[in-house]
Amino acid sequence: MKAPWNSDVPEFSRRGLFPTREQFLVLKAALGGRDEALAAYGEWRRTLDVSREFDHEVFRLVPLLYDNLRRHGVEDDLTGRLKGAYRMSWVKAHRLAAETKPILDEMTGAGLEVLALKGAPLGLLYYGNPALRPMGDFDFVVRPDEARRAVSLVEARGYVPWRAVDADVLRYRHAMGYKRADGHEFDLHWHVVFDFCDDAADAWFWQTSVPFELLGHRVRTLDATRTLLHTLVHGIRWNEEPPVRWIADAMVLLRQAAGEIDWPALLQFGERRGVARRLWLGLTYLRDYFDAPVPDAAIARLGRRRASWLERLENRTILRSFHEVHAGALGPLLCELAPFGRYARGRGPLFLAAGFPDYLRHAWQLGSRAEIPGYLARRFLKRLGKGLRPVTHATT
């Protein structure tokens, strides 16, 4: 049964997957029609401590909140603060674009085919105003066979990766974050998303990509179907601070391009690639709490899907608290086995057994596989030491 806007937030929201009560109210005020938006805004205002800073995720929603309230003619003593956040977002978006243009000039000038991902295309194509969709950097995807050339070009421009981009990184990771001495950052991808680092997935994302004008260049971006899938898969994972931006992104996209969503293609890919449960969680939440135009048949189909062992393992590690997972004796191994299982899918159990130690060496940044037992022993002793730490009592 569909829950009313002001009902209790679902239990799992408190586990780092979905919005807190405050975030939920701000999302409703930022996305809702006049009556719903004013009701949610009024309730948020009654519980808001104006003397403190906004919650980080709430602050990222404030430009959209301000724009929606402005369109509904709402103005009060908080309007100036909201407007200031919107203006700050507008300035940051234009500054970030100016800082990013030289690297895009360089990449396209070198003949690299570039696909823009996440914030920039969402802000321009669906929000219609980049200030309404704050972002910290641009995300550019290149073809996997052009990754080495792209890395060399980017690093020649003075950008430094957070970790050296060697053969292991190109094999096991999907992207790398870069930062310049002046603080400018951007992400270089050779796969669209961490969960799908293989040729077949790359082809699925690229094959329907569409032309897109960005910073004076004709690049590409994902079509609406793949943008929605990417938004859901990227957003539905546990985080200490729930990344609620995915809800606004998905809702704006669905309102602007619901007729462009190829639901059979999205469902088929999600089922085949082991993310049916995450898609079900995201789409059900959007339908039940935000009236998203999602076909009931799509949600029912995803709900009936029987998860593979890999999907069950992955959901145990990414839909639960990181701290809870790591508290178990096998936690560190399970957290790495799930992504390696995706990398090794379709290659057989022998490859899985033989390749996992090498993946652990890479993931834990060890010099050789021989260091793995010592690494695990140190982690175990450290956890044991915490468990044995004496309890101290405060004195008055």
The answer to whether residues 343 and 351 touch, using CB atoms and an 8 Å cutoff, is no
Burial of 358 (0-12, 13-18, 19+ CB in 10 A): middle
Q: Tokens 């899918």 belong to which residue? A: 345
- Helix H, strand E, coil C: the string for the chain is CCCCCCCCCCHHHHHCCCCCHHHHHHHHHHHCCHHHHHHHHHHHHHHCCCCCCCCHHHHHHHHHHHHHHHHCCCCCCCHHHHHHHHHHHHHHHHHHHHHHHHHHHHHHHCCCCCEEECHHHHHHHHHCCHHHCCCCCEEEECCHHHHHHHHHHHHHCCCEECCCCCHHHHHHCCEEEEECCCCCEEEEECCCCCCCCCHHHHHHHHHCCEEEEECCEEEEECCHHHHHHHHHHHHCCCCCCCCCHHHHHHHHHHHHHHHHCCHHHHHHHHHHCCCHHHHHHHHHHHHHHHCCCCCHHHHHHHHHCCCCHHHHHHHHHHCCCHHHHHHCCCHHHHHHHHHHHHHHCCCCHHHHHHHHHHHHHHHCCCCCHHHHHHHHHHHHHHHHHHHHCCCCCCCC
Per-residue pLDDT of the chain (396 residues; tens, 9 = 90+): 344 333 343 444 445 778 888 999 999 999 999 999 999 999 999 989 888 888 888 999 999 999 999 999 999 999 999 999 999 999 999 999 999 999 999 999 999 999 999 999 999 999 999 999 999 999 999 999 999 999 999 999 999 999 999 999 999 999 999 999 999 999 999 999 988 988 899 999 999 999 999 999 999 999 999 999 999 999 998 877 667 899 999 999 999 999 999 999 999 999 999 999 999 999 999 999 999 999 999 999 999 988 888 888 888 888 887 777 777 767 788 888 888 888 887 677 777 778 899 999 999 999 999 999 988 888 777 776 665 444 443 333
Residue 387 pLDDT = 53
Is 3.40.50.2300 the CATH number for 11-306? no
Q: How far apart are CA 287 and CA 202, in angstroms?
A: 29
Q: How far apart are CA 355 and CA 350, in angstroms?
A: 8
**For the chain, domain boundaries:** 11-306, 310-388
Nearest to 117 by CA among 202, 57, 181, 60: 202
What would you measure as the largest C-alpha separation in the chain, in angstroms? 70
Q: Token digits for 272?
A: 């085949």
Q: Listing from the earlier edge strand, what are the strands of the sheet with 185-189?
A: 160-161, 175-179, 185-189, 138-141, 115-117, 217-221, 210-214
Q: How far apart are CA 247 and CA 367, in angstroms?
A: 41
The answer to whether residues 352 and 375 touch, using CB atoms and an 8 Å cutoff, is no
The answer to whether residues 114 and 141 touch, using CB atoms and an 8 Å cutoff, is yes
Q: Token digits for 174?
A: 């999907």
- Interval 166-214: pLDDT, tens: 999 999 999 999 999 999 999 999 999 988 988 899 999 999 999 999 9
The answer to whether residues 17 and 324 touch, using CB atoms and an 8 Å cutoff, is no
